[in-house]
Chains A and B, each alone.
Chain A
Amino acid sequence: MASTTAPVPLPERLTRIWETAPGLYGVLATVDHKVIGKRYLVTSMIFLLLGGAEAAVMRAQLAHANEQLLSPEAYNQIFSMHGITMIFWYAAPVLSGFSNYLWPLMLGARDMACPRANALSYWTFLMSGVFLYTSVLVGAVPDRGWFAYAPLTEAAYSPGLNMDFYAIGLTFLSVSTTVGAVNFIVTLFKTRAPGLSVNRLPIFVWGTLTTSFAILFAAPALTAACVLLYFDRRFGTHFYDPALGGSSLLWQHLFWSFGHPWVYIVVLPAMGIVSDLIPTFCRRPLVGYTLVALATVSTGILGFGVWVHHMFATGINATASSFFSAASMVITIPSAIAVFSWLATMWHGRPVFKTPMLFAAGFIVLFVIGGVSGVATAANAYDLQLTDTYFIVAHLHYVLIGINVFAVMAGFYYWLPKITGRMLDERMGKLNFWLMFLGFGVGFFPMHTLGLLGMPRRIYTYADGLGWGWQNMWITIGAYVFALGVVVFIVNFFWSLVNGAEAGSNPWDAPTLEWATPSPPPPYNFARIPIVASRHPLWEDRINEGTGRSVLETGPMLDKGRDTFGTTPLDAEPDEILRMPEDTAWPFFLALSVLVLAYGLLFGVIWLAAIGVVGLFISIIGWFMPSHEPTLTLET
């Protein structure tokens, strides 16, 4: 019947195949990586604002000696939630947002390899965050820091539900992180466009790939730590109780063997963002691509061998301590390689300072400051002085704001035109940069000196006469200027959404595949699957790269259903056509069931937990119910 009517044009055919149904069902059921990516970005930015508001309140409390704005209880809850929110619910998820949105576009695919798992990973991220913040409604906010050292977190010293929210919330979030990581790994090794061999991947992809592997090895340590904590607290086990054969340090080993790799998890993709946009704005390929890719991977691996540098003061013997000191210094080398390849790219290129490049340049400076202060803390003998002072607060903010937030801002200015189809305003962008850069310097640099002046971390008040007063006031002012920069970004975003210039498909004349699609990209990403012949498909003619040429306009259509190529792991030779799953709301219901289970475990209500478990099984059955669509067999 359909064959008798006039042929429908390709884009429309593909749209019908790939678009999500309108209405509430579509909202819950979509598996489009672009929608999921946008949700990740928006949700994680909301967590950034929450964590930022918490920081603002803390800085008000610390601006003066003996300030009484907050009770000690309130301060301890707020500083804990600031850390937990920023590290777990902002820093990694925001990068997942970029990766989710960009990966299939960069890889020339039509979706992630496991679109339904992708939806699950978002919904569990969202719901675990909702779970964490309902602690505010119950009045039992986690108050033992993001690091939550046992035995302080044991029921004897932390009665109340506060730390149960922490233990269950993080375990819940690990589901999201793990599912996401598996999906990225499968996507990378399975669904790249033909010809996109591993030596042609954007560095950002290398970054997310490395962190995805790291997550698979790191997250179980955190989950184990949290589950043991929950057992101790609720079932009377004694894992962290030295009086009955447990260990006070077990938590620290588990936590940091997760926690330090996590630092690299939240910076490697961010470094990738910068590695990919610097070439665009320097108008030349990245210097030392192979070394930077190797540096990324080796940082991810070495990141597992340095956790004890968080524990130099625990009385560990000097030999072991020195081993970790050395390992922590060695990990500087891959970072130095990245820094000098960025510098070389600038010096051997023609830098154009649009806002993304400004953020990237600021990022390099902050990266180096955070790096050298990291070397100081890696020197075990001196770290005994620095650890747990404001010097560490300075260091970790140079790392997490300098390397993560500045890269994220650069990424937004660079890729939001792709996502929204509108350019952000350049003048507001520059104002945005300078407020954040200068505010950051004023606010965070003096924390180094404050640490040298002996101010410990995690204190809600300090006495007069210790010489810390005026610097704290100065820091508070800087932090507020920084916050103003964030506000300018938000204004710019909404203003540009309406008034921004049309972006077109490739506003920056960038080299990689995501810029070969319209902005915003259609639901199917590429009307014709690209066939890639070089690392810079959109530049290859001009820089005379390689021998063959990529095929962007006349490649295969794959328009018989939700299809994309399955390719070989290294060389990306096509070996099958993958029929991708339809939209479904089961991932949403699965995540919802986990939420119900989490509350059941939190309140110790068995029937509620049982409902969650039953819902979980029903969701899994529904999810895997065979589709009535015929599965496509391999065609070669």
Chain B
Amino acid sequence: MTSPMYILHGAGPVAAMQDKLGWYLMIVSIIVVVVVGILVLAGARRRHDGRDQVARSGSGMRWVIVGGIIVPATVLVVTFALTIATEDATASPPADPAVTVQVIGHRWWWEVKYLADPAHTVVTANEIHIPVGQPVRVELSSADVIHSFWIPQLAGKTDVIPGQRNVAWLEADSPGIYRGACTEYCGLQHSNMAAFVVAESPAQFAEWLETQAKSAAPPSDPDAAAGLAVFQKSACAACHAIRGSDALGQVGPDLTHLVGRMTLAAGALENTRGNLTGWIANSQAIKPGNDMPTMTLSAGDLQALVSYLETLK
């Protein structure tokens, strides 16, 4: 029984501290429930003289004072102390974050920007690369409604609120892919709004950032060149940007390095050529209500377009 989003498998300092509190709360909860359960069962099965005459026997006030006030008050004081300690420890990173990422919630995908270094401006979608072992600052904003950003194995949720800039921080202890999701109901496709954090060694991260900062290379073979033409003359370029081409659309995800992403449409599909073709041809069948219109392209144009997009490494 496990899941890539299992909360109690914290893989970074924030989640690990939250987990400790979680385990404590779970154990206390189980003890309380078991004790009360036994008291109910035993109370129900307790022998009595079989008569159901009304009587006032014993005051029973000790139960209420001890079980209802003293014990819970003591446990709650401890619980609150642990909670506030955890809150304090997780509220801000121990060191200045090495990397700042801007994450912008859209219905229904995540725009991801690395803007700190003007020479390495990077815009991508749904996948956040971070260096392992370093705190990362995530600045959250929304292009439309309220979303919530959550990578369970790295940190708890932070809401993504229009008109407000919230900040989360996360850090991964070891390399890996950490799955997350939007957790504030944001309309029709709230279910299909996954986010991924890819934690890699600082060297690999630097290399990735370097690659992502580059513009897309012009198509080298005629098929791809035809595809670029399709991209520019059809509706694609109105919404999507490909740095290095004339396409500067700001509505949908930046596609400059599309091929490097694991999924399409915020986790709805694995990023394969077949899925990409299907998505362009009829995205409304896959993620009904998303903003991408159904493209009416000839088979040849569609294949050329996909061939071009497949060059966006």
Contacts and interface: CB of A to CB of B under 8 A. Distances in A.
Interface of A: 71-73, 76, 144-145, 147, 149, 151-152, 157, 242-243, 247-249, 283-285, 287-288, 291, 313-315, 318, 321-322, 325-326, 329-330, 332-333, 336-341, 343-353, 361, 364-365, 368-369, 372-373, 375-376, 379-389, 449, 451-463, 466-468, 509, 511, 539, 542-545
Given A242-B162, A385-B156, 15 more contacts: A151-B162, A248-B163, A287-B61, A325-B83, A337-B64, A338-B68, A341-B64, A365-B33, A369-B33, A372-B28, A380-B87, A381-B156, A456-B181, A458-B185, A542-B53
Contact of B72 (A73, A322, A332, A511): A332
Nearest to B84: A322
A249 B164 contact: yes
B218 to A, nearest CB: 36
B186 A152 contact: yes
Contact of A466 (B3, B26, B37, B192): B3
Closest 9 CB pairs between A and B? Answer: A242-B163, A454-B5, A384-B156, A344-B60, A344-B63, A467-B3, A287-B60, A459-B191, A340-B68
A456 B194 CA distance: 11
Contact of B159 (A313, A351, A380, A542): A313
Interface string B134-165: 00000000001110101010011111011110
B167 to A, nearest CB: 8
Contacts of A454: 3-7, 152, 179, 181
A373 B2 contact: no
A349 B163 CA distance: 59
B57 to A, nearest CB: 6
B67 A340 contact: yes
Contacts of B49: 350
A385 B7 contact: yes
A353 B6 CA distance: 41
Contacts of B28: 372, 375
A329 B72 CA distance: 10
Interface string B174-218: 000001011111111111100000000000000000000000000
26 contacts: A76-B187, A248-B162, A284-B54, A287-B59, A287-B64, A332-B76, A333-B72, A333-B73, A337-B68, A338-B68, A340-B64, A341-B64, A344-B63, A352-B52, A365-B36, A368-B36, A368-B37, A372-B33, A373-B29, A375-B79, A385-B18, A385-B22, A458-B185, A463-B267, A466-B4, A539-B54
A78 B298 CA distance: 39
B107 to A, nearest CB: 8
A332 B67 CA distance: 12
A322 B88 CA distance: 10
A388 B156 CA distance: 11
A293 to B, nearest CB: 12
B288 A71 contact: yes
B39 interface: yes
Interface of B: 1-8, 15, 17-18, 21-22, 25-26, 28-29, 32-33, 36-37, 39-40, 43-44, 46, 48-49, 51-64, 66-69, 71-73, 76, 79-80, 82-84, 86-88, 90-91, 107, 144-146, 148, 150, 152, 155-159, 161-164, 166-167, 179, 181-192, 267, 288-289
Given A72-B188, A372-B33, A346 B162 contact: no
B90 A381 contact: yes
Contacts of A373: 29
A348 B57 contact: yes
A283 B83 contact: no
Contact of A381 (B17, B54, B68, B107): B17
Contacts of B156: 313, 381-385, 387
Contact of B40 (A152, A285, A364, A458): A364
B278 to A, nearest CB: 15
Which of B15, B32, B59, B71 has the most chain A CB within a 10 Å cutoff?
Answer: B32
A325 B80 contact: yes
B63 A364 contact: no
A343 B60 CA distance: 9
A313 B7 contact: no
Contacts of A329: 76, 79-80
